[in-house]
Structure 1
Amino acid sequence: MVSGQSKNKKNKKLNKLFKSEWITNNLVFILFVSFLIVLYIANGHIADKTIRDISKTKNEITDLQYQYKTLKSEVMYKTEESEILKQVQPMGLQINKELPVKIYINKK
């Protein structure tokens, strides 16, 4: 008999909780909580998207750094004296083997 009474009390509490009167009385609160839940879910999605964008940008920066270092090393190699000589030799240009002569001007 005791168990039957406790079931009745639980059923009455549940029925009281889900009555349309209770829902209409607390409709503003239910809508507010629903709005907060939607905001919480949206915030999670925005955070995930931001993390993906940051990761993508890091990868692009790493690729650009490699490209920069590669181009810089190529430019340094091509500006060496021996490489410049190889490139201008077909045009007939050579390094002058004689030392430069200094010209003195007498001011009178």
Structure 2
Amino acid sequence: MNNQFRKRIEEQEEEEIHLVEEEPKPKAAVKEGSTTAFFRKLFVDGVVTKESATDMLPFIIFLCVLVMIYIANSHMAMKNIRSIDKLSKEVKVLNWEYKSFKADLMFKSKLTEVAAKVDTLGLKELIEPPKKLVINRDEH
């Protein structure tokens, strides 16, 4: 009898041990956002397996390269637009300077202005019209 009693006690202890092990342990409450839950369902629950993700790796790398080329192209386009704007402003400034110099030259090339400038050199303005020289070739 003693052995039977001992067996019952051991069985009860084993059942208690199993119950203790089977009791759900309280987990730390982790709040998952909708995006986290989506990706967890997508990758963990079996929609996308590790093998299929590995098979898609070259395509994903190709897409990443295309995105980098697209970004570099947009940066280069913005750089070109800025340089075009800068050059167009410079052309406007040079056009204004050209018109200003042209107007100044037109003013300085007037007869009265030229006469005033050469008066300091001792040159005088003609009062009588210039004489015309005529050479007859028949007399030779």
TM-score normalised to structure 1 length:
0.79
Aligned-partner Cα distance in 2 for 1:19–1:44: 35
The 1:28/1:105 distance shift into structure 2, 3 A limit, reads: closer
Aligned-partner Cα distance in 1 for 2:79–2:128: 67
Q: Secondary structure at the match of 1:56?
A: helix
How many residues end up aligned between the 2 structures? Answer: 99
**Higher helix fraction (1 or 2):** 1
Match of 2:57 among 27, 31, 34: 27
**What residue in structure 1 maps to residue 118 of structure 2?**
88
Q: Secondary structure at the match of 1:26?
A: helix
| Higher Rg of the two aligned structures | 2
Larger relative contact order (Cα-Cα within 8 Å, sequence gap ≥ 6)? 1
Query: Are 1:36 and 2:66 matched, yes or no?
Result: yes
Give 5+ residue unaligned stretches, structure 2: 1-38
RMSD: 2.1
User: Which amino acid counterpart does residue 29 of structure 1 have in structure 2?
Assistant: F
Percentage of identical aligned residues: 35
Give 5+ residue unaligned stretches, structure 1: 1-9
User: Which amino acid counterpart does residue 85 of structure 1 have in structure 2?
Assistant: A
**What residue in structure 2 maps to residue 4 of structure 1?**
none
